[in-house]
Amino acid sequence: MVDILFVSPPTPSPEEHAGYNLNAPPLGIGYLAAILRENGFEVDAIDLAFSDKPVADLRQKLRESDPRVVGFYTTTVTYYGTERLLAAVRKDHPEAITWVGGPHVSYEYETALASSGFDVVFLFEAEHSVLEAAKVQLRGKGRLDDVAGIAFRRDGRTIKTTPRAREKSLDIFPYPARDLFPIKKYTRPGSIMSSRGCPVKCIFCIASTFEDAYRYRSPENVVGEMKLMYEQWGINDFYFVDNVFTTYRARAREICRLIREADLPIGWYCVSRVDYAEPELMQDLASAGCYRIELGVESGDPSVIGGMKKHISLAHVYRAADVILNLGMQPMFTFQVGHPHDTLDSIEATLRLAEEIREMGAGAYLSVTTPYPGAPMMIEREKYGIVLETTNWEDFRWSNPTYRTATLSRNDIRKAIYRGAVGMARTLAEGKFQDPPSAPWLRFGPNGNGMRLPPPPTSRSDDDTALFSVPDRKRTLPVLQVAR
């Protein structure tokens, strides 16, 4: 018998979304499992992303582990699937206590308790709350009423406890318990989270509603985790899942310095912003093995960008492409269509900018601006002129419009997504978009390309508030990439 079994549900069809979960182990569950094990609880986990028959596989896992608590992590698109898995637990293991957490139920906790029938809902970050709840429900120490950051039902009514303050010192948490998952099966096993939250307030993102939510781990703690993953599993390709890895540039540079000093045969990629892509910082990233940078642009129309509260300009986009490409890295620009301020004309501007970016050798991907629970776009959808045309949570995917706006039909948005996908497919077929030579699968191994990284910059300013001046578009920078 184990104390807690954590369950990560599969993403529903279509197939490309089901496959997305195969990329990386569920870090959220990994953190919860690690802190519980550190405090003497026996924990197990199952990632059903790999399952063709998730209910049957969960039932088999229940028989093997005989858990006292079954805890689920769910998002909006996986919520109905999680309900189906909960029904299997209730049928086969009725004595088990059931927990659920994740961004969806943090806002929809009333439904999760009253309609779905979970015993406890964990609201937002849950490391401390899970540990306290486990002590109450498994060791009989204390009361659920005194556990901050949860909701539960008693005598037919919902009780929501005091909100939990977010942990400021992320270094106190142990590294995620990746050993609970089949690491070798994932296509992106090296996912790592060096910070939480986001200081930017984009209206389509739930992170924009969190106050004082942006916190970050120390560079030493982050690189220590990378070393452990390399030594334990041989992982040499890392992805920083942070909303914006380069928010504090001095910290990003220090992480780069420690990566260089570790002298590991690794590569990595991260998310940044186009207005942070100043040459000095980007050269620092490239010199430490960064080979790809994802940057959100969202639209080719400045007025739409302004409505999203992105606080960037199109000049930043061209500048970022120039800087990153000239350093031998690969920029991946992401766009959205269907924003409340979008029109057919602004969508055309977005598609043109995406094509122009691809002609430069960068990636450009389109998705649907989706109003997830908790995001300002969902909370204030009447203000933004959003009319939902489905309430099926499984429809809330980045490739599927769920609403119409004052200027766009649901089909207008579908057509734009299709044209964006066709454009990227054509770019790939024509060979204009290729893996950068610094990618770890090209640099290392018996047939490595012998490529050397550029050196770190010789001078720098650690003023994290300073922004670089934006030159004319398509300015050609010196090529800093060192030739073979």
Q: How many other CB atoms sit within 10 Å of the CB of residue 217?
A: 23
pLDDT digits (tens, 9 = 90+) for 293-326: 999 999 999 999 988 778 889 999 999 999 999 9
321, 294 in Cβ contact below 8 A?
no
DSSP state of 172: G
Stretch 343-364: mean pLDDT? 94
How high does pLDDT run on average in the chain? 89
pLDDT of residue 471 exceeding 60, the answer is no
Decide if pLDDT at 401 tops 80. yes
Give strand pairing partners of 160. 151
Average pLDDT over residues 181-185: 92
Q: At residue 463, does pLDDT exceed 80?
A: no
pLDDT at 343 over 60: yes
- Check if the beta carbon of residue 226 is closer than 8 Å to that of residue 234: no
Distance of CA 313 to the CA centre of its chain: 24
pLDDT of residue 236: 95
Q: How many CA atoms are closer than 13 Å to the CA of 190, on its beta-carbon side?
A: 23
pLDDT on residue 475: 44
What pLDDT was estimated at residue 13? 63
pLDDT number for residue 460: 55
Q: How many residues in total does the chain contain? A: 484
Read off the pLDDT band of 235 (50, 70, 90).
Answer: very high
Q: Are strands 387-388 and 403-404 parallel, antiparallel or unpaired?
A: antiparallel
Q: What pLDDT, on the 0 to 100 scale, is given for residue 442?
A: 92
pLDDT in tens, 108-142: 999 999 999 999 999 999 999 999 999 999 999 99
Which pLDDT score, from 0 to 100, does residue 55 have? Answer: 95
pTM: 0.90
pLDDT the model gives residue 479: 45
Mean pLDDT value of segment 329-347 = 93
Q: Which residues of 248-260 are buried (b: 16+ CB within 10 A; e: fewer)?
A: bbebbbbbbbbbb
Mean pLDDT along residues 163-189: 93
Mean per-residue pLDDT, 440-465: 78
Contact 106, 160 (CB under 8 A): no
Task: Using the predicted structure, report yes or no on whether residue 480 has a pLDDT greater than 80.
Answer: no
Query: What percent of the chain has pLDDT above 90?
Result: 69
pLDDT at residue number 11: 85
pLDDT tens for 27-76 read 999 999 999 999 999 999 999 988 889 999 999 999 999 999 999 999 99
Can you give the pLDDT at residue 209? 57
Q: Which band of pLDDT confidence, cut at 50, 70 and 90, is reported for residue 373? A: confident
Residue bearing the bigger pLDDT, 35 or 479: 35
Residue 476: pLDDT over 70: no
Round to whole Å and give the CA distance between 97 and 232. 34
pLDDT of 211 over the 90 cut:
no
Q: pLDDT above 70 covers what percent of the chain?
A: 90
pLDDT of residue 461: 52
142 — alpha (psi -120 to 50), left (phi > 0) or beta? left
Would you state the pLDDT for residue 82? 95
Span 238-268, pLDDT tens digits: 999 998 999 999 999 999 999 999 999 999 9
Long-range contacts of the stretch 411-418 (C-beta < 8 A, 24+):
412/344, 412/347, 413/337, 413/338, 413/368, 416/337, 416/338, 416/347, 416/350, 416/351, 416/366, 417/337, 417/366, 417/367, 417/368
Going by pLDDT thresholds of 50, 70 and 90, the confidence category of residue 14 is low
Q: What is the pLDDT of residue 104?
A: 92
